[in-house]
Amino acid sequence: MAELLEAETLRLVEVAPPALPPQTRTAMDREWGEAVLANPALFDGPVAVCAGLSREDPDTLLVSWSRTTYRYFALRRVPGASVLRSLFVSVVQPTDDGRLLVGRMSTSTAAPGRWQFPGGSVEPPTGDEPLDEHALRRHAAVELAEETGVDHPAADLTRCLVTYGEDGQVGVHYLAPPVPAPLLHERYEALVADETARGRVPEFDRITLVGSPAELPDLAGPHVAYLEPLVRWTHRRVGS
C-alpha cells in the first residue's frame, strides 16, 4: 500500500549520499553484476534517491535527496544493508470520458510485466540546475512522451499527490489534461512503430484504459503499490 499525501508546496533539498562500508559496496557490486547478466538492458546511470520525507509545515512537504547511480538499488538484495528509497514521478493521463491510461512494463525494463502509470525514477540535474518542482514536472512530461507518445507541455501538468510506500519509495504524481481515447491509442501505436523501426523495445509493451479501481484485478501481473490508491483517488475527482 501507499500513503497519499497532499501539499501546497514541495521543497527538495540535496544531502550527501550514504557512505558504504567496503564489504557492503563489494556485495552491492556483485548483486548489480548479476542483475545486468539477467537483464543486459540495465544501465548504471545517475539517479536521485530519497533520503527522507517530512512535513515542514501543514502546507509543505520536505524531500531530502541524494545523487547516486542505479546500482545502489542492488542494496535491496544485500542482507543487512540500508536500502535506498526511490524518488520517482508519474503522470495520471485521463481520457475525456474519465478513464485512466496505465501501461505494462516490457521485458527490457527493470520490472517486466508490472502495471503502472507512465513515469520513472528521477535523475539528478546537471551543472547548476536545481532539482525542484519545475524539474520534476519537466521530467514527468518527458517520461509520458517517451512511454506513450503523448506530448504535453510540462506547464500543463498539475501535481495532484505525493505517495509514500510501505517500502519507503516516494512518488510525485501529476495530472495531465484529458485526451480523447482514440488519440491516446494512436500516439502509442506510432511510438511503438518508431521504436521498433529503430531496433528498440518500447518501455510499455501494452497500454489500457481503466475506468475504476474495480477493473484493476483484470490486469494480469504485478501492480505498483501506488496504483490502486491513486486510481481510487483520481476516480473520485475526475472519473465519470
Give the number of domains in the chain: 1
* Cα four-point dihedral sign 109, 6, 141, 92: positive
Asked whether 82 and 74 are in contact (CB, 8 A), the reply is no
In which domain, by residue range, is 174 found? Answer: 2-238
- Helix axis angle, 133-148 relative to 181-197, nearest 10°? 80
Q: What pLDDT, on a 0 to 100 scale, did the predictor assign at position 78?
A: 94
Q: What pLDDT, on a 0 to 100 scale, did the predictor assign at position 202?
A: 94
pLDDT tens digit string along 106-153?
988 878 999 999 999 999 998 888 999 999 999 999 999 999 999 999
Residue 239 has pLDDT above 70, yes or no: no
pTM here is: 0.93
| Cα→Cα distances 3→61, 117, 235, Å | 14, 17, 17
**CA–CA separation, 83 and 76 (whole Å):** 5
Q: What is the mean pLDDT of the chain?
A: 93
User: What DSSP character marks residue 183?
Assistant: H
**CA–CA separation, 231 and 106 (whole Å):** 21
What confidence category does residue 240 fall into, taking pLDDT thresholds of 50, 70 and 90?
A: very low
Q: Looking at per-residue confidence, does 50 or 82 come out higher?
A: 50
* Radius of gyration over every alpha carbon of the chain, rounded to an integer in angstroms: 18
Residue 162 has pLDDT above 50, yes or no: yes
SS (H, E, C) 206-240: EEEEECCHHHHHHCCCCECCCHHHHHHHHHHHHCC
| CATH number, residue 64 | 3.90.79.10
In the chain, the percentage of residues whose pLDDT exceeds 90 is 82
Q: What pLDDT, on a 0 to 100 scale, did the predictor assign at position 108?
A: 83
What confidence category does residue 212 fall into, taking pLDDT thresholds of 50, 70 and 90?
A: very high
Is 43 exposed, middle or buried, given 0-12, 13-18 or 19+ CB atoms closer than 10 A? exposed
Q: What is the mean pLDDT of residues 33-52?
A: 92
Asked whether 84 and 65 are in contact (CB, 8 A), the reply is no
Instruction: Tell me which residue of 21, 20, 28 sits closest to 44, measured CA to CA.
Output: 28
Instruction: Tell me which residue of 74, 77, 73 sits closest to 85, measured CA to CA.
Output: 73
Q: What pLDDT, on a 0 to 100 scale, did the predictor assign at position 167?
A: 78
* Cα four-point dihedral sign 14, 42, 231, 143: positive
Q: What is the mean pLDDT of residues 150-160?
A: 96
